[in-house]
Amino acid sequence: MSMQPYRIGISGSYGGLNLGDEAILESIVRQLRASVPAEITVFTRDSEDTLRRHDVNHAVLIRQMTREEARAEVGKLDLLILGGGGILYDRDVELYLREVALAHEAQVPVVVYAISAGPLNEPSNRKVLAKHLNSVAAITVRDRQAMKILEEAGVQKEILLTADPALLLTPDTLPADALTREGLDAEHWLIGFSVREPGPAAPDMDIEHYHALLANTADFMVARLDANVVFVPMELKKLDVQHSHAVVARMQYAPRATVLKGEYTATQMLGLVSRFQFGVGMRLHFLIFAALQNVPFVALPYASKVQGFLEDLDIPMPPLRDVTTGGLIAHIDRAWDRQGEIRERIAARLPALQERARETNRVVLSVLSQIRTTAGIAGGV
């Protein structure tokens, strides 16, 4: 007899705002589809975008619903997945915990899926977070700092260190004319750059400092390598694009810089990153994409999740606020000369990190198998 599909809900920062988040969702969904029969519902900000991008059954605008409407949606599920991504921080922690609270009321088990956490400075936020996370079925985080922050907030439940699900993605082919449309020629090396806006996850960033830093660094790479620089907006609507243009406007060699204009899926962008000879980046998923394509990179770690990824790959870099233009250029110059060594380091360490990333789906399957067993329903995982 065929097994009833599991009804699985996924709640996170989804809805086409950020390619990193879409990469996370793409990987979660692909792994579930490869593992179990599932009817998948995503709680999203943009249901059309989510249905267009992902192989899911339903996309629900749960944040626009009343508590009762949201409770009815959560109550239909066999399992709620919270994550992945860096979603538990002061400004939005209550927003993301609402579905978790509703799941507890409806006795729907919750798996926290390879998240990051912080900053979490508000005592009331730490309290509510600990209360809800102590009642979930399983907690996985993607970096050690997240584990520390959750423990300090009062989470007593065992926390498992896994890794970002995007590490398991494989690239899709690009449209044949994509590079031509972007005005990228094949005669020069392409250096990928990723900037991000200062947001609630990076409240201490000084815009003047990092715009000047990146503009000077990009100019150096054009002058030193006769390369073209390509700014990759990972946040899709406007802010990464604005900050990229602001950096280009400060460049002496602005004509040698391009800000990508096309709309790409996460896996297409992963394919595009393979065209780069080298990367300089702030956004975590730009760095993950570079690592997956074995493109050597220098990171500007504005947040602990980036620092955690660099530690996993054993790639050193000081925090952004400590970086001077001269220091960064010297660091990039050395990294360029040692790019073979960086490639070897990435190639050596990536498989273990990907194995950790696979572990999260195994945790989900383990929780699902207990649901069916407990309910006394035939079948299992």
**Which CATH number goes with the domain that contains 202?**
3.40.50.2000
Q: Report pLDDT for 380.
A: 44
Distance CA 154, CA 135 (A): 12
Considering the domain architecture, whether residues 163 and 297 belong to the same structural domain is answered as: no
What's the pLDDT tens digit per position in 214-225? 999 999 999 999
Greater confidence (186 vs 290) lies with 290
Instruction: Kindly tell me if the per-residue pLDDT of 154 is higher than 90.
Output: yes
Considering the domain architecture, whether residues 127 and 186 belong to the same structural domain is answered as: no
Considering the domain architecture, whether residues 218 and 327 belong to the same structural domain is answered as: yes
Residue 194 phi/psi, 5-degree rounding, is -130, 125
Instruction: Kindly tell me if the per-residue pLDDT of 180 is higher than 80.
Output: yes
Structure tokens at 373: 């067993």
For strands 6-11 and 58-60, give the pairing. unpaired
Greater confidence (307 vs 170) lies with 170
Distance CA 109, CA 132 (A): 12
Instruction: Kindly tell me if the per-residue pLDDT of 199 is higher than 90.
Output: no
What's the pLDDT tens digit per position in 98-143? 999 999 999 999 999 999 999 899 999 999 999 999 999 999 999 9
Distance CA 106, CA 71 (A): 8
What is the average pLDDT across 207-230?
A: 93
In residues, how long is the chain?
381
Domain membership of residue 380 (yes or no) is no
Distance CA 232, CA 243 (A): 11
Considering the domain architecture, whether residues 313 and 370 belong to the same structural domain is answered as: no
Residues 6+ apart with CB under 8 A from 269: 19, 232, 234, 289
Q: Residue 350: enclosing H or E segment and its boundaries?
A: helix 339-375
Distance CA 176, CA 285 (A): 24
Considering the domain architecture, whether residues 38 and 149 belong to the same structural domain is answered as: yes
Q: How confident is the model at residue 372 (pLDDT cuts 50, 70, 90)?
A: confident
Considering the domain architecture, whether residues 357 and 346 belong to the same structural domain is answered as: no
59 has which bridge partners? 42
Distance CA 275, CA 255 (A): 20
Distance CA 265, CA 148 (A): 33
Proportion of the chain above pLDDT 90, given as a percent: 78
Considering the domain architecture, whether residues 322 and 344 belong to the same structural domain is answered as: yes
Single pTM value for the model:
0.94
Domain membership of residue 381 (yes or no) is no
Q: Report pLDDT for 253.
A: 98
Domain membership of residue 173 (yes or no) is no
Q: Report pLDDT for 67.
A: 94
Distance CA 226, CA 224 (A): 6
Instruction: Kindly tell me if the per-residue pLDDT of 18 is higher than 70.
Output: yes
What's the pLDDT tens digit per position in 238-295? 789 999 999 999 999 999 999 999 989 999 999 999 999 999 998 999 999 999 999 9
107 conformational bin, left if phi > 0, alpha if psi -120 to 50, beta if neither = left
Q: How many domains does the chain have?
A: 2
55 has which bridge partners? none
What's the pLDDT tens digit per position in 287-341? 999 999 999 999 986 677 888 899 999 987 766 666 788 888 988 999 999 999 9
Q: Report pLDDT for 210.
A: 81
CA–CA distances in Å: residue 226 to residues 64, 296, 366: 50, 18, 53
Considering the domain architecture, whether residues 220 and 312 belong to the same structural domain is answered as: yes
Q: Report pLDDT for 377.
A: 47
Considering the domain architecture, whether residues 100 and 219 belong to the same structural domain is answered as: no
Domain membership of residue 193 (yes or no) is yes
Considering the domain architecture, whether residues 336 and 357 belong to the same structural domain is answered as: no
Domain membership of residue 25 (yes or no) is yes
Q: Report pLDDT for 175.
A: 81
What's the pLDDT tens digit per position in 19-42? 999 999 999 999 999 999 999 999
Domain membership of residue 297 (yes or no) is yes
291-297: long-range pairs with CB below 8 Å, 24+: 291/167, 291/346, 291/350, 292/167, 292/169, 292/171, 292/350, 293/171, 294/343, 294/346, 294/347, 295/192, 296/335, 296/336, 296/339, 296/342, 296/343, 296/346, 297/192, 297/335, 297/342
Domain that holds residue 28: 6-168+353-375
Considering the domain architecture, whether residues 119 and 141 belong to the same structural domain is answered as: yes
Domain membership of residue 86 (yes or no) is yes
Domain membership of residue 306 (yes or no) is yes
Q: What single letter denotes the amino acid at residue 348?
A: A
Distance CA 42, CA 323 (A): 39
Considering the domain architecture, whether residues 296 and 327 belong to the same structural domain is answered as: yes
* Cβ neighbourhood burial of 299 (10 Å; 0-12, 13-18, 19+): buried
